[in-house]
Structure 1
Amino acid sequence: MTEKTIRLTTAQALVKFLNQQYIEVDGEMAPFVDGIFTVFGHGNVVGIGQALEEDPGHLNVYQGKNEQGMAHAAIAYAKQKNRKRIYACSASAGPGSANLITAAGTALANNLPVLFLPADTFATRQPDPVLQQLEHESSAAITTNDGFQAVSRYFDRVQRPEQLMSALIRAFEVMTNPASAGPATICIAQDTEGEAFDYPVEFFQKRIHYLNRQIPTKRELTEAARLIQASKTPVIIVGGGARYSDAREELITLSEQSNIPLVETHAGKSTVEFDFKNNLGGTGILGTLAANKAIRDADLVIGIGTRYTDFTTSSKTAFGPATKFININVSRMQTYKLDAFQVVGDAKATLAELAPLLKGYQTQFGDRIAVYKAEWLAERTRLQNTKFNREAFTPEIKDQFDQATLNEYADSLQTEFTQTEALITINDTVAPDSIVVCSAGSLPGDLQRLWNPAIPNTYHLEYGYSCMGYEINGALGAKMAAANNQEVYSIVGDGSFCMSHSELLTSLQYGKKINIMLFDNSGFGCINNLQMANGSDSFFCEFRDSDNQIMQVDYAKIAEGYGAKVYRANTKEDLISALEDAKKQTKTTLIDMKVLPKTMSEGYLNWWNVGVSEVSNKASSKQAYEEKQANLKNARLY
């Protein structure tokens, strides 16, 4: 190490360091940090703001409109780039930084790398309490930013300029490690941002972070092959780890070679396109009938890069008592789930090693895979053609709203459009390479079941945290990561739109066209389904006013006020026309669709364990609790 130094402020050193971080995967090298989102306030504008103004290097700087919203855009960028490129997020002290905490949870739940840079209170404490600082009688060291500790893969505080060096090196090790990828939070005291230090020049040399593909041991591969060869009906669950590993070709090779069906989690969907003959679609609570039939038949489940959330396992009721598991994952902790045989390794590399060991092996599924898929496609066609009538309509979500209530919605919203018909119409009309973005409500269920991706890496669902408001803000990040002229469609309900759509304006500001498909059923429809299915009446999940009238909101007018091109479509014909015209636009569009409640798809061969009340005066609630207890008898305990 030389004695040569360069005098920089902490913030200037941060920006200079970010410019020198590169990542190399399979011999291809690229900058790891492409830019930074920021909402400036007194805690970061004269520190990080000054550094970015003076010399941003190659970093693109985007002005967010809400800290959580811009952070969700950054998270979506990393997700769409398969964790190989990131954006950082800078926020002011206090409420600005607090707004990042929810987004940090989103990143952590989804194992997505983002660098959070929340400003902190003064290191010197001279002006305490400063504007937006909290005071605790028990400790002067506690700040708003302590909330990040629960939602960060790595957390650190910088209160002296020289602390920045070790903090950044540790943060980037975490973010570029496939086994630990997630949000890194470095809180920088606002006075420290502007303080100078003589940094060693070596700290700013080009750093290449290598994503080496970990290959399992011979023991792991040999035993995994033996377990598969001993099974009759193995099924592969394709998780997010398979997608981030770019394991498409290896999955297809093994599936075709041995006739093993593929089923998908939200994070894994579109790793392999739906047209592949053995791809049966989403599995679990929101899964297709075909995928859930295959899982029901499985005597061995091969989980590739999956966390086995309750929505994948149907609260651990999807599998037979004798079903065995092989878990392939870069995270050793994840491989231990469900008492599986553990294979610690990169999905792509592991499958490439495993396939030759299984030459000649065939499952006993025979033509069942094709039969299951054909049955499901027929069911999808039925859902595509559901039609409302005012006399005797049976919605997909049965026995909740009576005919009079459904007619009330049809009259109030001036629509007879069903949600499943609308969604499949979008899937059939948009370009095959379009990216679809969603996160919360009933729409993720419809998407996992009904959306058939034609091209890999075009299905973008945040379902680790299922954070309402991700849909539009995440669409901006996906668009920033997308190829030129690749359309991005945000699939969003009225509930999530109301929760957050701040970066709609940002998309217009920077010419990043997104297409917002707004499904308005005047309420939190998904949770309304849940409460009524478990014995409660409809209670504060519908959007009704103080006179109990269904609320009517012109969401198109809201988007039009921002400057978006807008459409209103309450029929299939109008929707197709709007979609075709939207393709011609160069700026963000919004299609406002009024759809009837209870017309989303229902589950197949699934169960979800939720906290049903054990004590109630209502017979329906008591029955729901009894049903829960009965289902728990079929569930694995861990």
Structure 2
Amino acid sequence: MRPPGTRVRRRGRLRLRPADRRGGAHPGRTLVLLPAAQARRGTPRRRDPARGDLLLRHRGRARPRLPADLALPSGRQRPARRGPGRRRGAGPRRLARPLDRGARPRHVLPERHGGPGPRTRLAHLLPPRPRGGLPVTGTRRLTVAQALIAFLARQFTERDGVRHRLIKATWGIFGHGNVAGLGQALVEYPDLMPFHQGRNEQAMVHAAVGHARQSGRLSTHAVTTSIGPGATNLVTGAALATINRLPVLLLPGDTFATRPADPVLQQLEVPYAGDVSVNDCLRPVSRYFDRITRPEALVPAALAAMRVLTDPAETGAVTLALPQDVQTEAHDWPEDFFTERVWHIRRPAPDPAELGAAVRELRAARRPLIVAGGGVRHSGAEAALAAFAESTGIPVAVTQAGKGSLLHDHPRDLGGLGHTGTAAANELARTADLLLGIGTRWTDFTTASGTLFTAPGARFVNLNIAPFDAHKMSGTTLIADARTGLEALAEALPGHRVDESYAAACTTAKQQWELRVDEAYAAPDLSAAPTQTQVLGGLDSLLGPEDILINAAGSLPGDLHKLWRPRSHDQYHVEYGYSCMGYEIPAAIGVRLAAPARPVWALVGDGTYLMMPTELVTAVQLGLPIKVVVLQNHGYASIGGLSRSVGAEGFGTAYRFRAPDGTYTGDPLPVDLAANAASLGLRVLRATTVAELRTALATARAASEPTCVYVETAPDPGTGPGSVPPAEAWWDVPVAQTASRPEAVRAREEYERRVGGRRWALG
């Protein structure tokens, strides 16, 4: 090292050889001798074949020069060569560093103080510590599909101190778009993720949704498919999940992200957009959609998917589209990605100002009515609702999704509301001056297409965790969890109670309706073919609080909403948000997987059965003793009745041969659905009379294998025993404004009379 204070004399360009160009004293600088390994230059020198690896900036000239602040050792540079005078590699360089103050030279190496440093200790030899942020962790090399499975296996939900696994299992049908990715991952890690084999992609979504509803939205299933038709088959199930606010994770395969050869098998080419595939049709029916085109994108996308699945206000179908090449791509994943995560299901409390406004509305009301929707069930607020209704005396009517919020024998329960509701509930709704909606979306069936709540000045208070729904009907908003909101209302209304005359009128209306239910269930002739309501009566007399009843479409939801007497809060499982034909059988499988000790019944008409009987094979494969009741009425009975009411005369709704005039008015089709169910592996019990039906239902309930009860139903007599009470509220289905057939003309006249009573709500 040169003596302290030695500096470079000239600050211009400096040739490499002359040593006399260095010298002079400078009080603020010293020249530091650097190790040779750190002082090598990265540019070749004319007589230095050893070259080096120190990357110093130069101007690309034939004779490279060093910055003026870089001093060389005295003496000529000796080239690296053989012989006694050889130089062993590049020689050392000295680089000027500021010690105290003054202008700093442009640094090319980590800066070091020129003075002596402390003695090296053992701690100095350890790896450097991170400078903040997350601690450095290890990595795990997995494919994208393997990483996703490992991630999903460690996701949990927690509500009220009870923890559940979020993704309990994965359903799948494999094709070239997912077999090498998720298929291989499920084989690689069988202990991480249970797998269920499906027969139809839509049905797999229904099974996952059924499981989610039975689990109170605290757990669900994932569904994996190939690309193309397997992916598009998910759309209907995704829409059902999103409409009903039920979580399900969809993992459709997608076309190559690298696009080695377009189009690949089952790829839809879009001329105006190269990044569009058929999976994009899942965007409008998903609450969250992402396409994982790079492995690194999986981490934020997977976390976002879990956030939406566990958000009580935003949940629904979540789609992660997985290109088939990306699924198999390996990546070094941070270990933190696979740590256990618990997603806490929040119970937001109401805003004090909103709570105060709602309390004022309730205190001012003289004829209030509670409308309990699916949010009561999803929140687990049944006990809070019962306590609030008992303390205030306010009667409770229920939507399809909310049925079961109060048990049928609760003194404040009025049953279903709206087009398929009870006479008791609809009568009070027409005179109510305040409607307290709890967790309801206010669909047209609930509001009778806006014609039900006709009392002058009727007001709405909407207790809902979703702001979108809380602002409907121009109501006073109370954005909160249903249970938390009800508890807050009860605390703010101590001693408040409706007038006893109003409470007594509710009790009387309920008692009168129960007599009509008894008449609908009655079957005085045990040797006659049962009507549909008599089938429900047979189930009503047999089922206990542990049984679960599932339905979705046809005329059965209307009859069940009117007539069924729920004996437990989760017994009534009717999907009427999307009212999807084919939901019942796969949903029964999902429900049974969620509640393996409880009897599960799927009620289907022949139209629904023909839509999706495939998952009966799955029930047989899994050994799930679901009970399927098939009601054969040789057509679409529900839509047939609607067709006649709008002047379409039941056209195209009966299962009959084509007649010579081209219409479907010939003999009934000789389709044997019982034989079909037997061919799929079910035990089949045929019933032709009421007595045989009751025996078959009891046998099915005790069965330990999947069982089908097949019954041909008699037409509804219209009045008397076995008939369903008529609808007590209207439903808006537009009728042709001009027609020549008398039926259509009369239907239009009735339509215009009904539509004039609509209440317009700005919400």
Aligned match of 2:668 in 550, 555, 562? 550
Deviation at 1:570, TM superposition (A): 2.2
- Do structure 1's residue 246 and structure 2's residue 380 form an aligned pair? yes
TM-score, normalised via structure 2 length: 0.79
1:96 aligned counterpart, secondary structure:
helix
Please list the CA deviations of residues 223-250 of structure 1 after superposition, one character each: whole Å capped at 9, or x if unmatched. 2111111101111111100111111111
Cα distance in 2 for partners of 1:591, 1:521 equals 14
Residues 206-221 of structure 1 aligned to structure 2 (within 5 Å): 206-221=340-355
Is contact 2:288–2:319 with CA below 8 Å preserved after alignment?
A: yes
- Do structure 1's residue 508 and structure 2's residue 620 form an aligned pair? yes
- Do structure 1's residue 529 and structure 2's residue 641 form an aligned pair? yes
Please list the CA deviations of residues 576-609 of structure 1 after superposition, one character each: whole Å capped at 9, or x if unmatched. 1111111221111101111124456254320000
Residues 385-534 of structure 1 aligned to structure 2 (within 5 Å): 385=522, 416-484=529-597, 486-534=598-646
TM-score, normalised via structure 1 length: 0.94
Deviation at 1:388, TM superposition (A): 9.1
- Do structure 1's residue 588 and structure 2's residue 706 form an aligned pair? yes
Residue in structure 1 matched with residue 32 of structure 2 by the alignment: none
Is contact 2:372–2:396 with CA below 8 Å preserved after alignment?
A: yes
Q: Counterpart of 1:275 in structure 2: which amino acid?
A: D
Please list the CA deviations of residues 305-336 of structure 1 after superposition, one character each: whole Å capped at 9, or x if unmatched. 00001111110111024211000000011011
Deviation at 1:387, TM superposition (A): 7.0
Residue ranges of structure 2 left out of the alignment (5+ in a row): 1-133, 660-665, 718-722
Residue in structure 2 matched with residue 408 of structure 1 by the alignment: none
- Do structure 1's residue 304 and structure 2's residue 438 form an aligned pair? yes
Deviation at 1:34, TM superposition (A): 0.5
2:180 aligned counterpart, secondary structure:
coil
Is contact 1:529–1:598 with CA below 8 Å preserved after alignment?
A: no
Cα distance in 2 for partners of 1:520, 1:88 equals 34
Please list the CA deviations of residues 336-379 of structure 1 after superposition, one character each: whole Å capped at 9, or x if unmatched. 11010000000001111111222222213131121111111111
- Do structure 1's residue 273 and structure 2's residue 407 form an aligned pair? yes
Residue in structure 2 matched with residue 397 of structure 1 by the alignment: none
Residues 19-418 of structure 1 aligned to structure 2 (within 5 Å): 19-320=153-454, 321-364=456-499, 365-385=502-522, 416-418=529-531
Is contact 1:285–1:607 with CA below 8 Å preserved after alignment?
A: yes
2:658 aligned counterpart, secondary structure:
coil
Please list the CA deviations of residues 208-230 of structure 1 after superposition, one character each: whole Å capped at 9, or x if unmatched. 11112100011122221111111
Is contact 1:329–1:346 with CA below 8 Å preserved after alignment?
A: yes
Q: Counterpart of 1:377 in structure 2: which amino acid?
A: E
Q: Counterpart of 2:703 in structure 1: which amino acid?
A: Q
Residue in structure 2 matched with residue 392 of structure 1 by the alignment: none
Is contact 1:430–1:579 with CA below 8 Å preserved after alignment?
A: no
Is contact 2:516–2:725 with CA below 8 Å preserved after alignment?
A: no
Q: Counterpart of 1:178 in structure 2: which amino acid?
A: P
Cα distance in 1 for partners of 2:542, 2:709 equals 14
Deviation at 1:546, TM superposition (A): 2.1
Higher relative contact order (CA 8 A, sep 6+): 1
Residues 584-623 of structure 1 aligned to structure 2 (within 5 Å): 584-598=702-716, 601-623=724-746
2:233 aligned counterpart, secondary structure:
helix
1:17 aligned counterpart, secondary structure:
helix
Deviation at 1:553, TM superposition (A): 2.5
Residue ranges of structure 1 left out of the alignment (5+ in a row): 390-413
- Which structure has the highest helix share of the two? 1
Deviation at 1:297, TM superposition (A): 2.4
More moved, 326-335 vs 54-63:
54-63
Deviation at 1:483, TM superposition (A): 4.6
Cα distance in 2 for partners of 1:111, 1:545 equals 41
Deviation at 1:148, TM superposition (A): 0.2
Q: Counterpart of 1:112 in structure 2: which amino acid?
A: L
More moved, 152-161 vs 612-621:
612-621
RMSD: 1.6
Q: Counterpart of 2:510 in structure 1: which amino acid?
A: K
Is contact 1:432–1:455 with CA below 8 Å preserved after alignment?
A: yes
Deviation at 1:557, TM superposition (A): 1.1
The sequence identity of aligned pairs, in percent, is 39
Aligned match of 2:750 in 627, 632, 635? 627
Residue in structure 2 matched with residue 406 of structure 1 by the alignment: none
Q: 1:527 to 1:386 in 2, by over 3 A?
A: farther
Q: Counterpart of 2:282 in structure 1: which amino acid?
A: F
Residue in structure 2 matched with residue 572 of structure 1 by the alignment: 690
2:259 aligned counterpart, secondary structure:
coil
Deviation at 1:419, TM superposition (A): 1.0
Residue in structure 2 matched with residue 400 of structure 1 by the alignment: none
Q: Counterpart of 2:626 in structure 1: which amino acid?
A: I
Deviation at 1:186, TM superposition (A): 0.6
Cα distance in 2 for partners of 1:274, 1:552 equals 40
Cα distance in 2 for partners of 1:495, 1:504 equals 16
Cα distance in 1 for partners of 2:415, 2:192 equals 40
Q: Which runs of 4+ in 1 moved over 3 A?
A: 386-389, 597-600
Is contact 2:231–2:253 with CA below 8 Å preserved after alignment?
A: yes
Cα distance in 2 for partners of 1:11, 1:526 equals 45
Q: 1:453 to 1:576 in 2, by over 3 A?
A: same
Q: Counterpart of 1:555 in structure 2: which amino acid?
A: L
1:151 aligned counterpart, secondary structure:
coil
Deviation at 1:271, TM superposition (A): 2.1
Cα distance in 2 for partners of 1:360, 1:311 equals 34
Q: Counterpart of 2:178 in structure 1: which amino acid?
A: N
Cα distance in 1 for partners of 2:139, 2:522 equals 70
Cα distance in 1 for partners of 2:344, 2:570 equals 23
Cα distance in 1 for partners of 2:498, 2:282 equals 47
1:46 aligned counterpart, secondary structure:
helix
Deviation at 1:176, TM superposition (A): 0.4
Please list the CA deviations of residues 458-501 of structure 1 after superposition, one character each: whole Å capped at 9, or x if unmatched. 111111100000011111111111152x1000011000000112
Cα distance in 1 for partners of 2:639, 2:697 equals 29
Residue in structure 2 matched with residue 405 of structure 1 by the alignment: none
Cα distance in 2 for partners of 1:256, 1:493 equals 38
Larger Rg computed on CA atoms = 2
Deviation at 1:295, TM superposition (A): 1.3
1:47 aligned counterpart, secondary structure:
helix
Deviation at 1:31, TM superposition (A): 1.2
Please list the CA deviations of residues 5-57 of structure 1 after superposition, one character each: whole Å capped at 9, or x if unmatched. 11111101110110111111011112111010001111111100100111144
Is contact 1:69–1:501 with CA below 8 Å preserved after alignment?
A: no
More moved, 549-558 vs 233-242:
549-558
Q: How many pairs align?
A: 613
Q: Counterpart of 2:236 in structure 1: which amino acid?
A: T
Q: Counterpart of 2:615 in structure 1: which amino acid?
A: E
Residue in structure 2 matched with residue 401 of structure 1 by the alignment: none
